[in-house]
Amino acid sequence: MKSTGYSGKWLLLALPLLYLTLFYFYPLIKICLISFFPNGTWEPEKLHSLFSTSIYLKIIWFTTWQALLSTLLTLIFALPGAYIFARYNFFGKNLLQAVMTIPFVLPTVVTAAAFRALLGNNGLLNSWLVTAFDLAAPPIRIDQTFYFFVLAHIFYNYTLVLRIVGNFWAGLDPHLKSAATMLGASPTKTFFRITLPLLLPAIGSATLLIFIFCFTSFGVILILGGPGNSTIEVEIYRQAVQLFNLPMAATLSLIQICINFFLMWLHARLGKNSTIGFFGDSAQETATRTKTTLQKTIVAINLLFMILLLLSPLLALVIRSFSGKNGPTFAYYLALFTTQTRSVFSVPPISAVINSVGFGIGAMIISVGLGLLASTYLASKKGRHTTMWDAIIMLPLATSAVTLGFGYIITLNTPPLNLRDSLALVPIAHSLVAFPFVVRCILPSLRQIPDNLREAALLLGAPPLKIWQKVDIPIIKKAVATGGVFAFSISMGEFGASTFVTRPHTATIPVAIFRFLGQPGDLNYGQAMAMSTILMLVTSTAFWLIGRLDTPRPEKDIV
Amino acid sequence: MKSTRAKAGIASLLILLSFSTAAWAEKILTVMTHDSFNVSKSVIETFEKNNGATVRFMKSGDAGAALVQAILSKKNPLADVFFGVDNTFLSRALQADIFVPYNSPLLAKIPVRLQLDKTNRLLPVDYGDVCLNYDKKWFANHKISPPADLADLIKPEYMGLTVVENPATSSPGMAFLLATIGRFGEDGYIEYWKQLRKNKVIIAGGWEDAYFGHFTAASKGDRPVVVSYASSPPAVVHYSEKPLTKAPTAALVSSNSAFRQIEFAGILKGTKERKLAEKFIDFMLDIQFQEDIPLQMFVFPANTEARLPEIFIKFATVADKPAMVSPKSIETNRDKWIEAWTTAVLR
């Protein structure tokens, strides 16, 4: 156990790399090979249109700039929120943080329904405006526009900034700021000179994740953006499934991977150099109660914004699940829990909840385990090629779900890895997306641990494992919890490749929602909304519980 | 260290053994299908009991995605039977050569016009007409007569009333595009769509979004005309929160305005359960399964001897003369048609 040199460190990375090789690179490479050489020969004619038209160039351009804009707007709206969550305590903070994470797990069709109930042509706001101002037509028309899906991107990703940046911010030593203020720096100067540079690693992590999510956006663009707007991901699906042009789909997937890999590499490079060892004792609660009127106003404005953007669409869904033809009703819940249709695929809601939570916990355990290993390696100064490894680990996030899902079909099909129709593949596919996420959450905190802290412990004779347990873990605890929360949500919301993973009929909550939305009738729609409400309830309860475990309660004011 | 490894080895051997004994005890038939497939539990139990087998269903995405996965895995098939190739994908499935022929005796009870594959590698199981549905109440309230023909939609009084699905991402959307091609011909359909665009048609990504997101009869949407199935009106009645005596929506199946989607099933090449798979195909084409189809999948049974449930007799309609486009022509031109459509309607 004494080898802490290169060879020892390598072991940390070995397991995550083995995992990626088996469940990512192997399926991806094989599907690309089969796509490009279907009969053993290279058939370039199917790629002809890639160069003969400018359509694909336009799609790539659109994908990039909508992702940039969505990321930028999310940051602008969410950073103040992260600030108040990091620095102030207020009533219902933990619950609110739990609720803010719900959008992350909602299926796109449901999100679309929520936003339409509010902002659609016959939505709440429009009907209200039409009656209030006696208008002839609804004044707000954002359905199937650019604004609609950018709004949805902010809705989905807000919580990323709130949690990743907010938790990091809460861990920053507040005495630094006090010191700067005492030395005569203005609050603005303190923010730009001290706080912002220290926050950059966390902001960088959040920015990268949001950008990749928006870049690979599929459902949001397809449903809310309208048919005129197509991202690379939508085009990959269209080429692979509708046109059966696999070479084109594979080429577009590779283009998508390359663009993102470049960004991830850049991010990893910048992140590596931004290790500044100023970190507070995170076990100490640094948030304070709001005192001045200014503080109260800032918190109030932020909370109001969160309620308008995030809470009201969620509330609209809940209300919808209780509204029948003639006023309030429990009919949909009653139908959900009592009248089971005779179908082989219908499951009681409670089983769907159990399945979803089970997969979620599985995915969380795998990805937090792998994430801890990988980030420990990446954070260490002794690791080699960390920039490249950092970027490689992120790849699954940026890879087309269609392509990877199809890759599973043709690879994991022989013993001992005959997994393609096994239940185990579900948490594996989920954790493939969740694991890079966990790394992004943990790495900024891990890098902030000053080396001299570990060296001191080493000098005092503590073994490496003990150092890890006593020095690293307390500081990164919050970040690990954040990573865990997101891993769980990614699994609950069934992101990415899992949509294309075939499985025996094990209904999860999203599967049940889609089953109801597959056939006409208000009972079906109502039950879909009721099931969505249950999804929200289950996830927010889980987040709330994690939040309670995470925050020690002593109220401490910092002067 | 060594003993734990040995223990782990023994444990995994035991697990493997228990799996294989389970396989000996009972035959397993795997059926690969799309997400919209549905069947009653009791029906499948009959088959399982009669054949001493377990039927396992594998849902693999939408109809297109499921077929692509079946084709990709043809060297080592995921399943024994595939259900859910429709006539828009028929040619692709046959070209990929993933099915074995099976001359089921039950084909005698199925109309010849549904038997599009003369080699009997793919056998027709059900059919449904993709067509326009409209909100009866909306048209009554607004004192406009509901559309009676595809051509009505481009009239000025129908401005901003219609929502359809994108043929590039949705299977009913594709079927409706084919209806317009069958109706207006390869030379005329683009002009029709240009007119539709002028008339402010909404293009939705998929059926769920069109129906539950935009259709006035099912949501807070503002479109009283939607592309759905001729069998959607009985589904609306069947799945109503309050019992209904009349269907709130109606389907437009006038001559040449609907496209008939026929769904096929076939035995996958390389199956190790050939006999059982044949029995399952027979079972799917036989009365019990066929009579279960309407209320589970809301399409029509292919077997003419299957009786329809009352709700179908009352509220469902069948197109007498659906618009026709051959599967071969669909596969060769799909790319071209969708591209032309995209250019005319979206760009």
Between CA A245 and CA A256 the distance in angstroms is 17
Contact list, A107 vs chain B (CB under 8 Å): none
The highest-confidence range among A42-51, A138-147, A425-434, B287-296, by mean pLDDT, is B287-296
Please report the pLDDT score of residue A551 as a whole number: 58
State the maximum Cα–Cα separation within chain A, in Å, rounded to a whole number: 79
Compute the nearest-CA separation of B72 from chain A (Å).
Answer: 7
CA dihedral A542→A548→A550→A552, nearest 10 degrees, is 180
Confidence of residue A499 (pLDDT cuts 50, 70, 90): low
Does residue A6 or residue A537 have the better pLDDT?
Answer: A537
- In a mutational test of the A interface, the residue from B161, B169, B339 whose CB has the highest number of chain A CBs within 10 Å is B169
Burial class (CB in 10 A: 0-12, 13-18, 19+), A323: middle
pLDDT tens readout for residues A231-270: 899 889 888 888 888 999 999 999 999 999 999 998 888 8
Say which DSSP state A385 is in.
S
Pull the structure tokens for residue A174: 């507040």
Residues of chain B above pLDDT 70, percent? 93
Between CA A511 and CA A527 the distance in angstroms is 13
Pull the structure tokens for residue A509: 């909550």
Average pLDDT on A533-559 reads 72
Please report the pLDDT score of residue A220 as a whole number: 83
Q: Do B218 and A522 touch (CB under 8 A)?
A: yes
A4 pLDDT above the threshold of 50? no
Contact list, A245 vs chain B (CB under 8 Å): 335
Neighbours of A26 (CB within 10 A): 16
Between CA A332 and CA B53 the distance in angstroms is 36
Does residue A559 or residue B57 have the better pLDDT?
Answer: B57
pLDDT tens readout for residues A120-149: 877 888 888 888 888 888 888 877 888 888
Between CA A226 and CA B173 the distance in angstroms is 14
CA dihedral B54→B59→B63→B67, nearest 10 degrees, is -70
Out of B36, B41, B76, closest to residue A518 by CB: B36
Confidence of residue B290 (pLDDT cuts 50, 70, 90): very high
Pull the structure tokens for residue B178: 């084919």
Q: How many CA atoms lie within 13 A of A171 on its CB side?
A: 30
Average pLDDT on A380-389 reads 79
Helix (H, G, I), strand (E, B) or coil at B162: strand
Candidates 2.100.10.30, 3.40.190.10, 3.40.50.720, 2.60.15.10; correct CATH number of B2-127+260-315? 3.40.190.10
Nearest CA-CA partner of A92 in A296, A303, A233, A313: A303
Residues of chain A above pLDDT 90, percent? 24
Helix (H, G, I), strand (E, B) or coil at B263: strand
Please report the pLDDT score of residue A286 as a whole number: 63
B43 pLDDT above the threshold of 70? yes
Between CA A507 and CA A359 the distance in angstroms is 11
Q: Residue A292 falls within a domain, yes or no? A: no
A222 pLDDT above the threshold of 60? yes
Q: Residue A505 falls within a domain, yes or no? A: yes
Average pLDDT on A164-171 reads 86
Pull the structure tokens for residue A253: 């997937």
Number of domains in chain A: 1
Cβ atoms of B317 and B251 closer than 8 Å? yes
Please report the pLDDT score of residue A208 as a whole number: 92
Q: Do B219 and A113 touch (CB under 8 A)?
A: yes
Is B35 touching A (CB cutoff 8 A)? yes
Between CA A492 and CA A540 the distance in angstroms is 11
Average pLDDT on A2-24 reads 76
Cβ atoms of B281 and B265 closer than 8 Å? yes
Out of B38, B73, B242, closest to residue A345 by CB: B38
Q: Do A227 and B212 touch (CB under 8 A)?
A: no
Q: Are strands B202-204 and B162-165 parallel, antiparallel or unpaired?
A: parallel
Q: What are φ and ψ of residue A346, in 5° steps?
A: -80, 135
Is B68 touching A (CB cutoff 8 A)? yes
Nearest CA-CA partner of A286 in A23, A32, A559, A34: A559
Please report the pLDDT score of residue A392 as a whole number: 92
Which B-chain residues 328-347 have CB contacts (< 8 A) with chain A? 334-335, 338, 345-347
Average pLDDT on A411-428 reads 79
Q: Residue A366 falls within a domain, yes or no? A: yes
pLDDT tens readout for residues B149-198: 999 999 999 999 999 999 988 889 999 999 999 999 999 999 999 999 99
Tokens 């799945």 identify what position? B239
Contact list, A119 vs chain B (CB under 8 Å): none
Q: Residue A304 falls within a domain, yes or no? A: no
Average pLDDT on A327-353 reads 83
Sign of dihedral through CA atoms A362, A365, A369, A374?
Answer: positive
Q: What is the ipTM of this complex?
A: 0.86
Which B-chain residues 127-156 have CB contacts (< 8 A) with chain A? none
Residue limits of CATH 3.40.190.10 in chain B: 2-127+260-315, 128-259+319-345
Q: Residue A305 falls within a domain, yes or no? A: no
Please report the pLDDT score of residue B2 as a whole number: 43
B69 pLDDT above the threshold of 50? yes
Is B76 touching A (CB cutoff 8 A)? yes
Question: Letter for the amino acid at A358?
Answer: G
Pull the structure tokens for residue B257: 């305005």
Neighbours of A370 (CB within 10 A): 25
Cβ atoms of B342 and A247 closer than 8 Å? no
Domain that holds residue A503: 6-121+141-280+312-550
Between CA B168 and CA B188 the distance in angstroms is 20
Contact list, A222 vs chain B (CB under 8 Å): 169, 205-206
A507 pLDDT above the threshold of 90? no
Out of B36, B41, B78, closest to residue A502 by CB: B78
Is A325 touching B (CB cutoff 8 A)? yes
Please report the pLDDT score of residue B13 as a whole number: 46
Q: Residue A302 falls within a domain, yes or no? A: no
Q: Do B241 and A522 touch (CB under 8 A)?
A: yes
Pull the structure tokens for residue B77: 């098939």
Confidence of residue B294 (pLDDT cuts 50, 70, 90): very high
Is A182 touching B (CB cutoff 8 A)? no
Q: Which residues pair with B100 in a beta bridge?
A: B267
Neighbours of B104 (CB within 10 A): 19
Residues 6 or more apart whose Cβ sits within 8 Å of residue B1: none
Please report the pLDDT score of residue B227 as a whole number: 97
Say which DSSP state B307 is in.
P
Is A420 touching B (CB cutoff 8 A)? yes
Cβ atoms of A352 and A507 closer than 8 Å? yes
A558 pLDDT above the threshold of 50? no
Q: What is the CATH number of the domain that holds A443?
A: 1.10.3720.10
Nearest CA-CA partner of B163 in B138, B181, B185: B138
Compute the nearest-CA separation of B238 from chain A (Å).
Answer: 7
Whether cis (ω within 30° of 0) applies to the bond prior to B124 is: no
As its CATH architecture, domain B128-259+319-345 has 3-Layer(aba) Sandwich (3.40)
Which A-chain residues 346-385 have CB contacts (< 8 A) with chain B? none
Cβ atoms of B127 and B175 closer than 8 Å? no
B20 pLDDT above the threshold of 70? no
Pull the structure tokens for residue A515: 């089953």
Q: What is the 3-state secondary structure (H, E, C) of A185-214?
A: CCHHHHHHHHHHHHHHHHHHHHHHHHHHHH
Average pLDDT on A397-411 reads 87
Q: How many CB pairs (< 8 A) connect A and B?
A: 172
Please report the pLDDT score of residue A497 as a whole number: 54
Confidence of residue A82 (pLDDT cuts 50, 70, 90): very high
pLDDT tens readout for residues A101-112: 898 888 888 888
Please report the pLDDT score of residue B248 as a whole number: 94
Average pLDDT on B76-90 reads 93
Cβ atoms of A515 and A345 closer than 8 Å? yes
Does residue A173 or residue A386 have the better pLDDT?
Answer: A386
The highest-confidence range among A90-99, A391-400, B103-112, by mean pLDDT, is B103-112
Does residue A345 or residue B135 have the better pLDDT?
Answer: B135
CA A86 to chain centre: 20
Cβ atoms of A532 and A318 closer than 8 Å? no
What pTM was estimated for this model as a whole?
A: 0.87
A351-365: b (≥16 Cβ within 10 Å) or e: ebbebbbbbbbbbbe
Q: Do A342 and B232 touch (CB under 8 A)?
A: no
Task: Report which secondary-structure segment, H or E, holds B124.
Answer: strand B123-135
Whether cis (ω within 30° of 0) applies to the bond prior to A416 is: yes
Between CA A276 and CA A180 the distance in angstroms is 17
Please report the pLDDT score of residue B267 as a whole number: 98
Question: Letter for the amino acid at B345?
Answer: V
Pull the structure tokens for residue A237: 């699906």
Please report the pLDDT score of residue B42 as a whole number: 93
- Mark residue A318 as left, alpha or beta (left: phi above 0; alpha: psi -120 to 50; beta: remaining): alpha
Contact list, A498 vs chain B (CB under 8 Å): none
Q: How many CA atoms lie within 13 A of A69 on its CB side?
A: 12
Kindly list the distances between the CA atom of residue A326 and the CA atoms of A127, A526, B41, B247, in Å, as whole numbers in the listed order.
Answer: 19, 13, 33, 18
Q: Do A517 and B212 touch (CB under 8 A)?
A: yes
Contact list, B35 vs chain A (CB under 8 Å): 514-515, 518
Contact list, B346 vs chain A (CB under 8 Å): 227-228
Contact list, A514 vs chain B (CB under 8 Å): 35, 208
B274 pLDDT above the threshold of 80? yes
Question: Letter for the amino acid at B274?
Answer: R
A365 pLDDT above the threshold of 60? yes
